[in-house]
Structure 1
Amino acid sequence: MADDKKLSHIDEQGQANMVDVTEKVVSQRQAVAVGFVKMQAHTLDMITTGRHAKGDVFAVARIAGIQGAKRCSELIPLCHPLMLTKVNVEFSPDPEHNKVHIKSLCKLAGQTGVEMEALTAVSVAALTLFDMCKAVDPSMQIGGIKVSEKLGGKTGHWLAEHDMEGTD
């Protein structure tokens, strides 16, 4: 399918360009991102029963995810620094598939979306889970990171069409 849309971070000369959002209307915006960390059953059990030697893995990963969202513009070169009003990071253990599902929600009232912040929150939370558990399970896999929903701006309400989260 042909798409007329241009890449917004490239100017007419093909140079990297931070998008000018000065004239955009301030609106309530939010984005939800998801991902997972797949691990061995004993690793998931250690985390969920609180027997991990490093302590509460979910608490540390949650704080890391929130910090990641807040620092997104420092990590992704052309992202605007945003005044986030809400960042939430949740973990859902899935013993049937030996996974921890991660979900983040980012909100603000602003001129540009918060998808990158939500994706960064999930990514940093997943990396932190990996870091805290790598000594007992170096074969863990991080996957399925995507935007699953967004609200606000000219797009309005958008939901991901296909759920590829279960693919490894």
Structure 2
Amino acid sequence: MDNQYCQRRMREIWDDPKRGAAPVNWTLSPLLADIGPALLACYQRTATANDLLISGPSGAGYTYPGSWPAAALAAYTQLTGRFLRRTGMDLVYAYNHRKPEGDGWAAFDERVVAAYRRDTPLRGIIQSWETGDLLIDPAGLPVIGNFSPQGKAQEYRDTLVRRHLSGGRPL
């Protein structure tokens, strides 16, 4: 997560008087505990019951955990765990690498989820999986897909309505 984003664009969105009217997840880097403690405190202090601050992307830094070697992944998830505990965050929005055949994203495997489970206080992972249909439980930690249709607000709304009317599960 870019500290500059938290200082500027997210703050502009956050300051909208309509914020809090609907439930929204907001991704923040848990590293803000060190690199931007005043920013983190501001968001925590002014969050409404409908604002959920979660770690992103992937924890202690923008990365694709599935591409890390096992020894390095443990160092990363341990660092992530330390910062999640400091910030009180217990969900992470995470990326993974693309499938080798280039057709979409790879689901997290047991190795990656086990490292998060062992080293962090996470109660779940929201994996970047644009269709939202991913729901797995490797290593005993729930991993769900993020439903993020492309487009502006009206297009996003229309996609949500179509999904609901076609019997798609809410995520």
Same-fold call, TM > 0.5? Answer: no
Structure with the higher fraction of residues in helix conformation = 2
- Structure-1-length-normalised TM-score: 0.24
Structure with the higher fraction of residues in strand conformation = 1
- Structure-2-length-normalised TM-score: 0.24
Q: Which gives a bigger RCO, structure 1 or 2 (Cα 8 Å, sep 6+)?
A: 1
Structure showing greater Rg = 1
